[in-house]
Amino acid sequence: MDKDFINIYNLIQELSWLFGAHSINGECCGDLSLVEYMALKKIKDSENITIQEIGNALNFTKSGASKIIDRLGNKGYVTREISSVDGRVCCVNTTAKGEEMASEIVHRYSAYVYEMLKEQDAATIENIKAVLEILVNSAHRQENTLNGKYSQGGGRMSIFEMNN
């Protein structure tokens, strides 16, 4: 039983590494790092997201988030506008170019995943999807119970503070 979870942990770790910043994603896509891509994706999926929200979503300080948006802005993938309702907050949105880049990356990697899995039958593909959904949902739930409130540093807990 315990063995199963060790096993699953090791497999997730391995998979994460293979899809993480040091592997195929090392340079995620031309001029985007993995972090920048994740931010771009988040911005694309939310209308008028703020710097702070991006930071919280990706576990960066607002300082770090601001710099990531700088980079994305310099590359022409996002715009930064001052909110019309509150002069302190920035509304970040993707440009057409940013939108296109995000789609391109998804397309490329999906093709990669297709190459990976093309020999699997339809039922297996469905099953893979179902399992990944369980994992992602459980991980999100677990993340939420772990994370406290966010201060500048995004008061996230290390797993090592969990229960000692």
Partner DNA sequence: TGTAATAGTTGACACTGGAAACTATAGCCC
Partner DNA sequence: GGGCTATAGTTTCCAGTGTCAACTATTACA
Residues that bind DNA (CB under 7 A): 33, 35-36, 50-53, 59-71, 80, 86-90, 152-154
Least separation in angstroms between residue 17's CB and DNA is 12
Please tell me the distance from the alpha carbon of residue 78 to that of residue 100, in angstroms, as a whole number: 11
Query: Of 109, 97, 105, whose CA–CA distance to 29 is shortest?
Result: 105
Please choose which of a copy of itself, DNA, none residue 51 contacts, taking the beta carbon within 5 to 8 angstroms, the exact cut-off set by kind: DNA
Q: How many residues are listed for the chain in this entry?
A: 164
Least separation in angstroms between residue 95's CB and DNA is 16
Query: Do 73 and 66 contact (CB within 8 A), yes or no?
Result: no
> Is the Cα dihedral 78, 91, 146, 141 positive or negative?
negative
Query: Of 93, 118, 94, whose CA–CA distance to 104 is shortest?
Result: 94
What residues numbered 59-118 form the site for a copy of itself, per CB under 8 A?
59-60, 106-117
Give the binding site for a copy of itself (CB under 8 A). Answer: 2, 4-27, 29-30, 35, 38, 58-60, 106-117, 120, 124-129, 131-136, 138-143, 146, 156, 158-160, 162
